[in-house]
Amino acid sequence: MASLLRPATWGLFSWRGYCSRGTQGRLGAGFVEALKAVVGSPHVSTAAVVREQHGHDESMHRCQPPDAVVWPQDVEQVGRLAALCYGQGVPIIPFGTGTGLEGGVCAVQGGVCINLTHMDRILELNPEDFSVVVEPGVTRKALNTHLRDRGLWFPVAALCPPDPGADASLCGMAATGASGTNSVRYGTMRDNVLNLEVVLPSGQRLHTAGRGRRFRKSAAGYNLTGLFVGSEGTLGLITAATLRLHPVPEATVAATCAFPTVQAAVDSTVHILQAAVPVARIEFLDEVMMDACNRHSKLNCCVAPTLFLEFHGSKQALAEQVQRTEEIIRHNGGSHFSWAKEAEERSRLWAARHNAWYASLALRPGCKGYSTDVCVPISRLPEILVQTKEDLEAWRLTGTIVGHVGDGNFHCILLVDPEDPEELLRVQAFAEQLGRRALALHGTCTGEHGIGLGKRQLLLEEVGAVGMQTMRQLKATLDPRGLMNPGKVL
């Protein structure tokens, strides 16, 4: 096994030579020609500007461009590309919309970026079975637009920072193990992916639940689908996903309310969940965030810890849910309860939440945003939120807090001057400390953004030596040469 992990020197291309040559020429003309032979010349680029576009995501990890970018047109081409790169010892980096937040597409060892967005068909829709098969170029919004008249939707990962307008690809969301505001009711990608088509590093095609299968549940062998969801491109390239759809709710009601303390907001959340009110979204914004929203969007919201709620159901059911929620909230000292039924009214009510990212950025114009992503057992939320606010002060950082409080997951949006390396270091140190605080409270360093480049040490602390060893063994089994998105996760 060990010999496989050493640099290969056979074939068209020398791995050693690859590393020692300049960026531009690292791949060699012969290899680039071989890529073109697979996908056609127009679908290969080694232009600096293109490579740079593909060397970063929306995070602050520095751009590390691949040596070439290719756009396969179908899964057969993906298989040939993978086999070609793998055979030649060239790293492979899968690329969707580039909207990740943990540097998952940075080409830390160079290599070939496989941009899958040209494969953008909705391959199969089975409304009666609540399932759909999408290629990796299909985004969440594109799918939901397609489904609009079918009475179905895909609810995972709406409205998550950084950019509420960001429209990730569904296969990318599967690779990340993403979730978002609706997961308290509808679950995460882990819960909503039924099957994946994956091109393994060898170029072989794996259907994690068997080809064409789209059952709701199974106990047949090892859960390969679950293994690839959240693997961040380090085990193979996801070339199609079978997703579970949900019926569009008959009606939607939005609500907001303010609390005297973080504890009161979290207690209300726990009580709402304990009362089995099937809340669809329950989002927390701290008073700094609310203040930022007021300034940014000229709102007049209470500057206090605030919950934003959304309910899905029949009109009659919603009336009851809202009433029960209001009772619980008032019992916990909540006030300024407002609610809205119509779409426009709901948008107005949720404006603060919708604009949270930009409102945060506006606190310090010219700064960039960095979002943390810890998740803890819900009972530990008040404790860690209070700690986080103290830490912000101690580290002299500006940050707002917004959270998927029903899941115990929250983001601290930190403002950082990209020209100030010292501040950047403080942001990194703060984020690492926050990760450790979450771990100390039985939580995870990432609820939905993934490990990527920056949280590998935290992952080790989170899963322990045996967990890490097991993950490394799985990686070595499925990617013995370590070429699938190297440097990520492990």
Residues 233-252 contacting its own copies, CB under 8 A = 235, 246-250
Report the residue number, 29 or 466, with the smaller CB distance to its own copies.
466
Least Cβ distance, residue 125 to its own copies (angstroms):
12
CA distances from 379 to 262, 264, 282, 441 (A): 12, 12, 15, 10
Which structure tokens are listed for 323?
């009433």
Least Cβ distance, residue 237 to its own copies (angstroms):
14
Of positions 11, 40, 164, 313, contacts its own copies by CB under 8 A: 313
Least Cβ distance, residue 31 to its own copies (angstroms):
26
Report the residue number, 417 or 461, with the smaller CB distance to its own copies.
461
Q: Total residues contacting its own copies (rule CB under 8 A)?
A: 99
List binders of its own copies among 267-286 (CB under 8 A).
270, 273-276, 278
- The 429-468 site mask, x for binding its own copies (CB under 8 A), equals ----------x--xxxxxxxxxx---x---x--xxx-xx-
22 binds its own copies (CB under 8 A): no
User: How many CA within 13 A on the CB side of residue 285?
Assistant: 33
List binders of its own copies among 353-392 (CB under 8 A).
373, 375-379
Report the residue number, 165 or 247, with the smaller CB distance to its own copies.
247
List binders of its own copies among 187-226 (CB under 8 A).
187-188, 190-191, 200, 204-224, 226
CA distances from 381 to 59, 164, 177, 361 (A): 25, 24, 22, 24
Give the pairing type, strands 306-313 and 279-285: antiparallel
Least Cβ distance, residue 480 to its own copies (angstroms):
10
Q: Please enumerate in sequence order all residues whose Cβ is within 8 A of that of 316, keeping only pairs 6 or more positions apart, or say none.
A: none
Of positions 372, 409, 427, 434, contacts its own copies by CB under 8 A: 409
Sign of CA dihedral 86, 90, 94, 100: positive
Contact segment (CB under 8 A) with its own copies among 110-118, 252-260, 294-302, 313-321 equals 313-321
List binders of its own copies among 322-351 (CB under 8 A).
324
256 forms beta bridges with: 308, 338
Least Cβ distance, residue 421 to its own copies (angstroms):
28
Report the residue number, 41 or 316, with the smaller CB distance to its own copies.
316
Report the residue number, 40 or 226, with the smaller CB distance to its own copies.
226
Report the residue number, 222 or 366, with the smaller CB distance to its own copies.
222
Report the residue number, 418 or 464, with the smaller CB distance to its own copies.
464
Question: Cβ–Cβ contacts within 10 Å for residue 466, how many?
Answer: 8
Dist. CA 397–CA 389, nearest whole Å = 10
Contact segment (CB under 8 A) with its own copies among 32-40, 266-274, 292-300, 363-371 equals 266-274
User: How many CA within 13 A on the CB side of residue 405?
Assistant: 31
Report the residue number, 74 or 420, with the smaller CB distance to its own copies.
74
CA distances from 317 to 19, 268, 277 (A): 62, 20, 10
Q: Degrees (nearest 5) of the Cα angle 277, 278, 280?
A: 130
List binders of its own copies among 114-143 (CB under 8 A).
126, 128-131
Q: Diameter of the chain by CA atoms?
A: 71
Dist. CA 311–CA 313, nearest whole Å = 7
Left if phi > 0, otherwise alpha if psi is -120 to 50, otherwise beta: which for 408? Answer: left
List binders of its own copies among 147-176 (CB under 8 A).
151, 176
Of positions 407, 410, 414, 431, contacts its own copies by CB under 8 A: 407
Residues in the chain, total: 490
284 burial via Cβ count (<10 Å: 0-12, 13-18, 19+): buried
Of positions 115, 169, 182, 231, contacts its own copies by CB under 8 A: 231
